[in-house]
Structure 1
Amino acid sequence: MTAKSYMFHSVAQAIADHKAATMFGLMGDANLFMVDHYVRHCAGDFVPVAYEGSAVLMAMAYAHVTGTVGVATVTHGPALTNCITALTEGVRGHIPIVLLAGDTPQIDPHNLQNIDQRALVNVTGAGFEQIRAPHTASYDIAHAFYRARVERRPIVLNMPADMMWQEIAHKTVVFAPYDAPAYVPEGDAVDQAIGMIASAKRPIILAGGGAIDARDSLIALSERLEAPLATTLKAKGLFNGHPHNMDIFGTLSTPAAYDLIAKSDCIVSFGASLHRFTTDKGALMKDKRIIQINNTPQEVAKNFHPDAALIADARLTADNILFWLNEAEIPSSGFTRELDLNALTAHPPARGKDKSLGYVDFVSALEKLESALPKDRILTTDGGRFMTEVWCRISAPDPRSFIVTANFGSIGLGLQEAIGAGIAAPDRPVVVFTGDGGFMMGGMNEFNTAVRLKQNLIVILCNDSAYGAEHIQFIDRDMDPGLAMFEWPDFAQIATALGGTGIAVTNDAQLAQCIDAIQSRDAQNCGPLLIELRIDPNDVPRMRI
């Protein structure tokens, strides 16, 4: 007797048809049978989370590290409302995922968990796809995957619960995305851009997150022009090891790099939106020609109007510019010959202040951790006033090994994305820097998830016993910061109680012991490590944004 096939079988198989081997989520009555079939009959891995929004964040990190479309699932109503912040973060970060969200039965409009899920998703900026009927499920899922990849944002697929047990025959549907590189433009705009570059005496090549696959071509252009190489925050690490590398461009630059940018006369920007942190609210763009190359029209002139703009692929355009410079025998600028390139990437050293009141110096601790943490790490940061010093002083091997969770300005997202990154790259250590408020908000409820998964995860918890952004605003106005101060529990003890290893650091001797623990740990057998840095709320460097 032939086994019956239902829509939940087809949904699970459609996910497998798209080579999605991992799904993050939390089960409820609208998705549990689909998840069960995905695991037991489609050979899929399901990562159960403690909170629905965590599933979206983990899928986003998985997509970032692997370069694929991430997959998550939740049930209906409050499960989806719990994903709003995470979805908005994904939209702002241009991360392609598909979120399979159950929906209450269409026949039951008075269901306690009923809500207009399309309207809810629209508020976040994510895309919405509806499974229209059981027999269209595989087509609708294929279209959701297609849209996620092409539109570079989360797509929520709505699955009415009352369709799940309707009989259908599965049909495999997969749409290949039209993801060939954008054309290299011709005409006056190209001639104008190349003319500006050819006449520049002090040009800088700037790469953003949309240019991370163009590294070799950008380096070739830099060497031909003798122009320094810089990145936006999201392309951090792209030019590691190259002698022209001046690291991050903008408010996160070293003092020497910031001065160099001010002296330049031409910025050739690839794959960057030139937002206010990159341009320092336009200050770094003054008195120079700006050429912006981006394959997404909406990103061009979104934040700053350039002198020349090309809607084009970064790699192909860099190759094209190089070709015409050679054809015209344009001489190199010689700009890099004037530079002390080592000084360009050196941030001011720690002040070495005495910490005798149970605190460690934050900057000094970061310098020591930079040397001690595993070199092949994936680096993730939560939001908080500590984060800009981490971005500047803790390195990442390459842009796909660096995850920023500040696209929406939220805190409490970092540890979840670190877990997703660890699933994507199980053979590599993941390091996440988080604050005390962020850990309480979103990290503690998933730390045990990392324990259950036996992850090679190092959590550096920067505990200043305060909500730092608010604390500093009270201080700046000579007001009592007491309402921004918190007496938290002992995070190191909590980490141990949750099944990991927790170490509290209140002085330099304990920091040295902590570094020994990092370097000697057997990550395969000991699971997540949490290091709680106790830092003075009145002595945390100001945010550089």
Structure 2
Amino acid sequence: MARTVARVIVDALSELGVRQVFGVVGDALNPVTDAIRTTEGLEWVSCRHEEAAAFAASAQSQLGDTIGVCMGTVGPGSVHLLNGLYDAAKSRTPVLAIAGQVPLAELGSDYFQEIDNDALFSDVAVFRATITSPDQLPQMLETAVRNALGRKGVAVLTVPGDLGEQKLTADRPARFSLNMPLTRPDESAVGRAVELLDRAERVTLLVGQGARDARADVLALADRLAAPMVLTLKAKAGFEGDANPYQVGQTGLIGNPAAASALQDADTLLLLGTDFPYRDWYPEGRTVIQVDTEAAHIGRRVPVDVGLVGDTGVTVRDILARLDAAPAGTRGARDRSHLEKARARFDRWRAGQARLADPSHDRGLVGRVRSALDNRGHDIRPEALAALVDRVAADDAVFTSDTGMATVWLSRFVEMRGERRLIGSYNLGSMANAMPQALGAQCLDRERQVVAFCGDGGLSMLLGDLMTLRTHRLPVKLVVFDNRRLGMVKLEQEQAGLPEFGTVLDNPDFAAVAEAMGITGIRVSDPADLEAAVRRAFDTPGPVLLDVLTNPDEIAVPAKPTVEQGWGFAVAKVKEVVRSRGEAGDD
């Protein structure tokens, strides 16, 4: 018996191993969602906003072993998918979006809610097409999925409203067989890279997520080269924990001085599986070798002496096989002082950060002086909150973080040890991603702990999808850094010498909002109550929102602060004080 367009799509999703589809129901999608309703093993997750649906699908794609799927219906429903789909595209993760459309006969007539989906998604999608005949399936769907998987991006398939229930005349099962080859660079290029590495005196590795599957090989290379290993934020989950004696944390605005100096002190940089975008943080005049699967990534951030296009694991093994090897302590062995210096500085920095995160720090003399300057209201330190979550959370927890200060505190105080995973909007830099990404992650495994580091600005953007957590009984732990500010924007303004403006948030009691939605809400404002509140949140079954009033004036010092930033911050503070006094006088 011939199947309908909707049934062919849904059967194919099951064949792919998709377990959830995220979206908002309506008109053109009704035949598709009805087919999902009658399909065992495939769950429709009804979100309150299509943007949340796209973020959730992207999270599943990044964490799982198949494509993420979301749906948006005609016009506005599809438009709402865009931000989450851009995040998937920038994260280079495969997502299939099914978009609704007006009836075929009305296409091009400026019909109610009609938009040109193929044009709308032209920038975000590696593949986009509108089904105009049932017999274009399943081939068009196969093409969409193969493009998403093979090109690591977003595919958008548009289904007109009167097509979903039409039957195919030449029905066959969908076939998605796709074998992704492991590529290796040219042997002569590997030879040139090895020559440079053999001559180098001080090598530093900059390691990204693209090297995640080659952890053992990368550690062996770091040992052979006596090289400190600077990690991108996305590489934390692959390289940070489990006794990595080479890593020195992150560089950039969220980084630390040890990582910045490890890059600066090197004469040779080896970039492995990273497209770290911040050019100002690369030192100048160094020999640079870059390994990446994408030729377009080679040299686009920093001038490269040797570019190796290939799989990181394969390439690193080729390099190891050719490098001169001399046992430590023997003549010809590499000097390890560059590595030891970087690690010693990293250990000192971590010890200092641990002191700042100690809840008792502000009670000491140094802490009291510090509080008089930057925490007169005696709010909870965000460092203390992040460090406590790190201690309490499971070693296989999935963490998500909102863009901004929540990511800063996670990067500095949460260690990705054990089987922990981390995702966020680390390429697009969107707000409001942490909660919906946690939603998608928790749907994959309802028994695994999922923790969202939420900024108050980000959470309030998509607050409605707290209801999705409750409706689907998803036990996500939402940790809200409630500083009543757009904290990163505040810091940017002050570093530029501008007074804080437009960043103050008139927040509700988020814990009370959660309780009104049927979710356990815990609000904590006293530093003395913090540990008990964090432990209660993680011990409570089901979804929990932990609303922590944190210090709005907390400063995250960048890895290599400049004099200009210091002067800018001082000038901004003077302007803020003058403005505050002026406003008080006006009253």
Displacement after TM superposition at 1:255 (Å): 1.9
Deviations 1:326-350 (A, max 9, x none): 5899954232663473652543321
Give the match's secondary structure for 1:537. Answer: coil
Structure 2: gaps of 5 or more residues: 561-587
Structure 2 matches for 1:21-32, cutoff 5 A?
21-32=19-30
Amino acid of the residue matched to residue 268 of structure 2?
A: C
Give the letter for the 1:468 counterpart: G
Unaligned runs of at least 5 residues, structure 1: none
CA distance in 1, matches of 2:154, 2:559: 29
Instruction: Calculate percent identity across the aligned residue pairs.
Output: 23
> Is 2:396–2:418's contact at 8 Å kept on the other side of the alignment?
no
SS in 2 for 1:371: helix
Q: In structure 1, what is the Cα distance between the partners aligned to 2:231 and 2:341? A: 17
Aligned position for 2:96: 98
Whole-angstrom CA distance in 2 between matches of 1:400 and 1:160: 42
SS in 1 for 2:100: strand
- Decide which of 505, 523, 533 is 1:514's aligned counterpart: 533
* Cα deviation, residue 435, structure 1: 1.1
Q: Residues 270-297 of structure 1, C-alpha deviation per residue, up to 9 Å, x if partnerless? A: 1111311xxxx34543242110010111
1:504 maps to 523
Match status 1:371 vs 2:391: yes
Q: Does 1:453 align with 2:472?
A: yes
Match of 2:54 among 53, 56, 66: 56
Deviation at 1:305, TM superposition (A): 2.0
Q: Which residue pairs with 2:272 in the alignment?
A: 270
In 1, Cα distance between equivalents of 2:78 and 2:12? 21
Structure 1, residues 94-131: CA drift from partner, whole Å, max 9, x if none?
A: 11111111111121134211011111101335531332
Q: CA deviation at 1:450?
A: 1.2
Decide whether aligned partners of structure 1 residues 270 and 242 sit closer, same or farther in structure 2, where only a CA change above 3 A counts. Answer: same
For residues 128-147 of structure 1, give each alpha carbon's deviation from its aligned partner in whole angstroms, at most 9, with x where no partner exists.
Answer: 13324211221111111111
Cα 1:470/1:53, change in 2 over 3 Å: same
More displaced stretch, 336-345 vs 105-114: 336-345
Q: How far off is 1:227 after superposition? A: 2.2
The number of equivalent residue pairs is 533
Note the aligned Cα RMSD (angstroms).
Answer: 2.5
C-alpha distance 398-193 of structure 1, shift in aligned 2 (>3 A): farther
- The equivalent position to 1:33 in structure 2, one of 21, 31, 35, is 31
TM-score (norm 2): 0.85
Cα distance change, pair 222–476 in 1 and its aligned pair in 2 (3 A): closer
What corresponds to 1:198 in structure 2?
A: 198
1:419 aligned partner: 439
2:546 aligned to which of 528, 531, 542:
531
The aligned residue for residue 410 of structure 1 is 430
CA-to-aligned-CA distance 1:38-96 (integer Å, 9 cap, x gap): 33135312211111111111011001111321111221210011111111111111111
Task: Give 1:10's aligned residue.
Answer: 8
Q: Which residue of 2 aligns with 1:177?
A: 178
- What secondary structure sits across from 2:308 in the alignment? strand
Establish whether residue 495 from structure 1 lines up as the match of residue 510 from structure 2. Answer: no
Residue 70 of structure 2 aligns to a residue whose secondary structure is strand
Question: Higher mean Cα deviation, 402-411 or 349-358?
Answer: 349-358
Task: Confirm or deny: 8 A CA contact 1:282 1:304 kept in the other structure.
Answer: no
| Aligned residue among 243, 246, 259 for 1:244 | 246
Rounded to whole Å, the distance in 1 between the matches of 2:559 and 2:145 is 37
Cα gap change, 1:38 to 1:193, in 2 (>3 Å)? same
Q: Taking structure 1 as reference, are residues 224 and 286 closer, same or farther at Cα in structure 2, changes over 3 Å only?
A: same
Q: Deviation digits for residues 369-415 of structure 1, max 9, x if unmatched?
A: 32222232111101123422322211224797110214222211110
For residues 75-474 of structure 1, what are the structure 2 equivalents within 5 Å?
75-108=73-106, 109-168=109-168, 170-187=171-188, 189-239=189-239, 240=241, 241-276=243-278, 281-326=279-324, 331-335=332-336, 338-339=340-341, 341=343, 343-344=345-346, 346-347=349-350, 348-349=352-353, 350=356, 352=362, 353=367, 354=371, 357=377, 359-397=379-417, 401-442=421-462, 444-473=463-492
Aligned partners of 2:476, 2:333: CA distance in 1, in Å? Answer: 46
CA distance in 2, matches of 1:202, 1:53: 46
Counterpart-to-counterpart distance in 2, 1:468 and 1:402: 21
* TM-score of the aligned structures, taking structure 1 as reference length: 0.91
